[in-house]
Structure formats: C-alpha cells, structure tokens
Amino acid sequence: MARNLLIVESPGKIKKLQSILGSAWLVAASVGHIRDLPEDRLGVDTGLKPEYLLTTRGKEVAQKLRGLVAQVDKVYLATDPDREGEAISWHLQQVLKPAHYCRMTFSEITQEAVQTALSQTRTIDLNLVHAQEARRVLDRLVGFQVSPVASRLLGQPVSAGRVQSVALRLVVEQEQAIRQFVSVEHYSAQLEFSQAGTAWTADWKLSPDFVSDQNPYFKDKVLAGTVANLRKVQVLASKDGMARRSPPAPFTTSTLQQAASIVLKLDPKKTMKLAQSLYEQGFITYHRTDSPNLSAEAFREISTYALAHKLNPVPSQRFWKAKAGSQEAHEACRPTHIADKVCGSTSEEEALYRLIRIRALASQLEDAEYATRNVLLEALDPVQGKKIQFEAKGRTLVKAGWLVATQKDQTDESDAEPDNPVPLLKTGDLLTADTGRILTKKTKPPSRYTQASLIKKLEAEEIGRPSTYATIMDTLIKRQYVRVAKQFLYAEPLGESLCAALLQKFSFMELPFTREMEHHLDEIASGKNTYATVVGDAHQKLLYELKGLNTSLPQGRVCPACQQATLFSTKSGKGLPYWRCDSCKAAFADQQGQPGDQFGDRKPVALDPAAPLCPTCKKHHLVQATSKQGNPYWRCTGYPKCSAVFGDNQGQPGSAFGSTAKPKPKSAPRKTSATKAKTTRASRTKPTRNDLL
C-alpha cells in the first residue's frame, strides 16, 4: 500500500514522477486550480474577503483526491514553484484537509531534483498565497465594477482589465502616433572607394554647420548632390581596435515568448503550451521564471559539455542582472540535460526545445571578438566655405566565440554593424573616391507592436507578470480590441473607443500606478505589506473614481436585477430577441422591443403589468411567441425552473401543452411506426422549449 501522495498541477507530469518515486507513492494532479471566485458575481464581500467555490472540474478532482488522501499517511503538495502554484497548494490543503501534509517544489523533473525537493519540504508560504490572492481580487474588482460602467459609456458590452486595459492603451497610443506621423524627407551623401578589388564606403558626417538640435534633418538635396560629387579626400585619423560581443542571457518567460514569436512565428499562448509540455516530459526546467541566471549545477554541466565539444566555455559562470521586481524563485529556463540535442513529441516542441538549448549553451561560451577600424576623412575642396568630413567604420570577426552555437532570435539588441572592409590607412594619406551618391532618407513612423515587442514593452514598464502576458494577448485579440496582421498588432475601433472611455477616469490605466501596484504585490509576497492594506487602498480609490463617473453616465435601460449596468438587446442562438445585462448576466424577455420579464430563477421583474401570470408556477409571467412553423403560442419567462408552454386562443393563453414535471417511466414503451408518425406530426405543430432561446 502506498504511504505517500504527491499532488502536482498537470496530469502530464504523473507518469514521469511515478517512475521516479516508485510504488510506495501515489501521484495525482489537481489539473490547475480546483477553486476560484464565482463566475456570475463579484465574489468579494464588503470586507474584501474573497468567496471561493469549487469549479465544475474542481468538484470532480476534489472528490477523487479525497479518496486518495484517505489511503495514505502523508500528502506532499508539489504544485508549480511560483505564487500561482503556492495558491493552488493552499486551496488543496483547505479543501482536502489532510492530517499530515507538506509543501515541496522543484524546477525540473529529474531524479536528483525531486529527491532534493523531498529533503527540503516546508509549510505553505502564506505571503505568496496572499500576493496571488491580492492580484486575483484586484483584477476581479476592476473587471466586475468597471466593465459595466464602460459598457454604459459605449452603449455596448465591453470588458475592462487591470493590466489588460493598460496593454490595450499601449497598442492604441502607438496606432494614434502612427496615424499622426508626418514623414520628413532628408538627405546625406556617401563616397565609394576600391582598393585591390575590395570596395568600401564612407558616409558624410553632418556637422553643426548643416544640422542642429532644432533642425536635425538636412533637407537641401542640391547641396547633398554637391557633396556626393566630391572626389579628393585626405585621411585625418585612423584608429584600429577590438570589440567584444557577449551572448544574451538564458531565457526568462518573457524573452522565451519574444524569441519564439520572432523565430518560430508562435504566439505567446502557443509558446507557453509547448513549454509546459516540454517541462512535463522532463526536457526543460520550469518555464515560468523571471530569473536570467542558471544554477551552479547547470553551469558545470554546460561547461563540461562545451569542453568536450571544443566550444570554449567561460572560465567562471556568467550572471545577468534581473529586471526590477523579479522574484527569481528559480533559475532561467534551460534543458535538463544539455547533451540532449533533440527533445519533444512534436516538431513544434522540438523547435522550441532547440531554441531554449542553444540560448542556454551560448550563454556560457566566450565572447565573440571583432577587429574594428574607424577612419575620418576630409574633402580637400570645401562646400560653401565649409569643411566636409566623411566617416568610414568597418569590423571583421576574428573570434566567433558563442556565435558558433547560437542562432538569431532578435531578442538581443546588440548593434551589429554591417561589414565594411576599410583598408589600413595612415594619417595624411590622399584618396580619390570612385563614385559618390546622394542618400535619400525618410523618417519612419513608430513601428506597430508585435506580440513579442508588446511583451518586451510591458516587461520594461514593469506592467503585469510575464506568466500573464500570453493570456493578455489572447484576450485582447479574442475580444476584437486588437487584430493581428502579418504579426503586427492593429488597434480596432472598439479597442480605441474603450481606451478613450477609460483614460483619465481610472488610475489603473496609468502606467506608474500599475507599475507601483506590482511593487505592492511583491511587498505582500515578501511580508513587507499586507493584503488588507494593498487591496483596501486600491479599492477605495476605485470606488471614488466610480462614484465621480456614475453621475454623468447615460441612464438608458438600467438592469432591474443589479441596478449597475445597462441592458443590451441581443438575439439567441435561435435568432429570437431578448435582453441581457453584461454585468450580472441577467436575461429578460423581449416584449415588442422592450425588456420584459426576467428569465431564470431570480426574482421576476414585470415591466408589463398586463402580462398574465403563468398558471403553472404562479410566479413568472407569460409572453407570446411564435414557433418555427409560424404558429403563435405562450411561454413562461421562468425557464428553466418553469418550462410551461401554452397554446394560443385568439390572442390569449390557451391550454397547456404539457406539465413542467415529467416523470420518467419505469420502462420506456417501444416505439411503433404508428407512435413515431404521431410524434412526428406533433412536432410539426407543437413548439418546443428549444424554440424559446
């Protein structure tokens, strides 16, 4: 009999972990969170205490886990090693209530890592739990309290998000900057030389005689042509040197998403899904990380591998400075075994693994080295009495270093100057240019964000967490606030309208405010602040802003159920009109273009006092409808609690088609051809409940 139970998040980890732990253990998965805030209401009381309910899937998982808990002596909660994972462990402990439990974490699924984790178990870190809880509640407060207001402002259902709306703002403002941009045409000149069959160039070095801070662009094309026609120049200075280029850091969650987007054309959501699968199969370390540094063990393994393959590792481990606010709970994302060149169960997984492996390997190899040469030339003939100078820059790779292992992923922005084989020149040398040409340039508008560059911007501004970026991108696109075309993000009209409705009305739309909130959440995690203080202060500010805005909102048809949002006219899947509230999700019948009685088991709202009461339930009202065949009938608005349907008798409710209560027969009678025909005839004239919505 198994004595211990290990609970992880993903079912994909079970097989690997079971093989490591052996038959004395049971391994089960929570399949993520088993509890969450309710879907149909705010779920946060006046004291800001969240209300947690088992999710639909969580009920089944909890029942199964309770049975396993009863079979073992001790439960090990091994959910992911981050705040979200800590919260999941806490929810499991609260629901399952095991007699003996402990918390353990590992960032790679290997024998060594799991055994080390078993020797370093601890209790649940409630500071991390409260930090995750604060984020969840803050997001819920903004979403549920601001979305109805934004919907009333725009006259259509929209949603606001504490971080999502800030990301939308960045896209919208970039779109507006592009729209307002006016291109400026300006000019320069370039001379081309050749020596022993090798061509090289020198560009006009615009001096303060021609440009200034107030007028940074040279716009005289004729004068630029004169400069391009110069041929005789003299060497004023020539300087040789060496330049080194270091490799980029191993992947964090953010840089992994960026690189995969650029190199593999994967959206962030897809990247995280593939990385999760690689992690669960034991091929990479934990991919949700903001640390750019490897563990000492990983460095030793990479160094040994590099020496064996003549790749020249650095003598001592490289380290990178983490971004401000980084948790650095575990190391950067890397292969669990650097010697494994190919891993993954699909071609996409293999491609992502290759990207992760090459980046980790390159990070601990020697710098690339270049021989550089900078030459300053001066024309012998002045132009308009002013000296004209040209500058030639060249470099040659002399030591590949880490470049032998890496591939371009464009997340490292080291300036890579183009090759320009400038020859060895001495001061005072006289040269004659072969040709010259005018360089016509145009200022370019700001580039639209890609998902990769927007993630980079969010991280640079310390907005949100890398683990949430994929969800943010997916939400903006699904709700049609932005669209993707050729990898670029375009702000849609609805997104621009929503952004305009929220800006200068809510503090959470301001980058400094949102950035500061991330710092407060970090303080909760480290025990330097409390849930009550951070969430309480933010909520008070939000209530103040909502109060100031509600007085100027268009009233429209205010939802009778929640009194907070406007009802919207829409159509059911059957094409029948009805009204719904985007805040509390209440639905109302349509009575000649106006909201009628409320559907469901909530308190009925009779906006039409003349409507007859349902004889069956005597609580809800009847409304007239038409079947698919065009036959009039009457139905109860209390559906699904009351599914009574009545015939039409000269514009008034007639006899009932059937009873709400439909007891099941002990044994269903066998249908004959006669009864089938009777049923078919009845279905042609009798409206069904599916006709209603």
Which residues are tagged catalytic?
286
CA–centroid distance for 98 within its chain = 35
What does the block give as tokens for 57?
Answer: 């899937």
Edge-to-edge strand list for the sheet holding 435-442: 430-432, 232-245, 368-379, 389-399, 198-204, 185-195, 435-442
Instruction: For residue 607, give the nearest of 590, 619, 625 by alpha carbon.
Output: 590
Instruction: For residue 149, give the nearest of 547, 587, 540, 570 by alpha carbon.
Output: 547
The rounded distance, in Å, linking the Cα atoms of 578 and 167 is 33
What does the block give as tokens for 99?
Answer: 């007699």
- DSSP-assigned letter for residue 379: E
Which long-range contacts link 407-412 to residues 24+ away (Cβ below 8 Å)? 407/263, 407/355, 407/358, 408/263, 409/248, 409/258, 409/259, 409/262, 409/263, 409/355, 409/359, 410/259, 410/262, 410/263, 411/248, 411/255, 411/258, 411/259, 411/262, 411/452, 411/456, 412/247, 412/248
Q: Measure the CA angle with vertex 543, ends 538 and 548; round to 5°.
A: 130
The rounded distance, in Å, linking the Cα atoms of 113 and 285 is 10
What does the block give as tokens for 582?
Answer: 């985007």
The 10 Å Cβ neighbour count of residue 681 is 10
The rounded distance, in Å, linking the Cα atoms of 636 and 55 is 30
* CB distance 37 to 52 below 8 Å: yes
